Structure 1
Amino acid sequence: MLTPRPTVYLASPYGFSAHWRTRLLPDFIEALESLGLEVWEPFARNGQVDLAQEGWAWTVAQADLQDVRDADAFLAIVNGTPPDEGVMLELGAAIALGKPTFLFRDDFRRCSDSEDYPLNLMVFSGLPRTGWPDYLYGSIAELADPSKALMRWLQSRQP
């Protein structure tokens, strides 16, 4: 019997732009799938909502939150100064739920008053006190780095 692939919720603002959706998101999805993950990308999973229908926003928000609950892990693209507020809310939910959490930021700008972290300190509250840089990725290729947290987490799930 085949074991299901681990699922990762990919939180990003890239689905709001047609260009980003076709040029940026596929790189992340392909990289994560090549690691053996099933990627739950909310724009693809919940993009079939009729925006003309009353209450569509609540429906989308609830579906996204349920996916955060159900996913095995969580990866947030935290580019921007500050990062996208929807991504930050999803990240907060993942942290509160105790999900294994990983961050991607290839934006060189700092958005923090802390010398330790490149972003608001609360973004890092779901990561360990020491070794937190292992959970922060600065390139898509780095997602496959066996010495970093995502690959260690995947290896720990092997039977």
Structure 2
Amino acid sequence: MPVTAKTIYLASPLGFSVESRQLLLPRYVEALEALGLRVWEPFARNAGVNLDQPGWAYAVSQQCLQDVREADGLFAIVNGTPPDEGVMVELGVAFALAKPVFLFRDDFRRCTDSDHYPLNLMVYAGLPQQAWESYVHDSIDSIGAPDKALAQWALG
């Protein structure tokens, strides 16, 4: 029986800008797919939404929420000070559902009151206390690193 690829929800604010959607977002998708993951990228999954239709925003929010529920894990781009609000909601839902969560932050700015974490401590609440750094990526190249939790989860 063939093994079904794990799905990962890509929580990111990169789809709001045409340049980011065309130039940056595909690099993350490709890096995750290189691990054998099926990537659920919400801007692509909701590309057919008619923004002139009443209720479109609610429909998109519900689809994203359903995708987070159904995905096997979540990869969240948490750049910014603070990170994107929608990404933070998706991250919180994934934590509440005990989904495996992996973070990406290559933003050098700190946004925290903790000496331990670069962002609000709640962003790390769903990661293990020990070796939480293994769940955080600081470059696209690190996404496939075999010593990181994401690669171990994807290939395990």
Query: Could you tell me how far apart the structure 2 residues matched to 1:61 and 1:84 are?
Result: 15
1:68-107 equivalence runs, <5 A: 68-107=68-107
Equivalent residue pairs, number:
156
Which position in structure 2 is the counterpart of 1:124? 124
1:1-159 equivalence runs, <5 A: 1-156=1-156
Query: Could you tell me how far apart the structure 2 residues matched to 1:55 and 1:13 are?
Result: 21
Query: Could you tell me how far apart the structure 2 residues matched to 1:128 and 1:5 are?
Result: 24
State the one-letter code of the partner of 2:141: A
Residues 36 and 155 of structure 2 are in contact (CA less than 8 Å); yes or no, is this contact kept in structure 1? no
Normalising by structure 2, we get a TM-score of 0.98
Find the residue that maps to 1:28 and give its secondary structure: helix
Query: Could you tell me how far apart the structure 2 residues matched to 1:146 and 1:34 are?
Result: 12
What root-mean-square deviation, in Å, do the aligned CA atoms of Structure 1 and Structure 2 show? 0.8
Query: Could you tell me how far apart the structure 1 residues matched to 2:155 and 2:26 are?
Result: 24
State the one-letter code of the partner of 1:69: R
State the one-letter code of the partner of 1:145: A
Task: Give the C-alpha shift of residue 151 in structure 1.
Answer: 1.1
Normalising by structure 1, we get a TM-score of 0.96
Query: Could you tell me how far apart the structure 2 residues matched to 1:127 and 1:32 are?
Result: 19
**Runs of 5+ unmatched residues, structure 1:** none
Which 4+ residue blocks in structure 1 deviate beyond 6 angstroms? none
State the one-letter code of the partner of 1:48: G
Query: Could you tell me how far apart the structure 2 residues matched to 1:112 and 1:147 are?
Result: 27
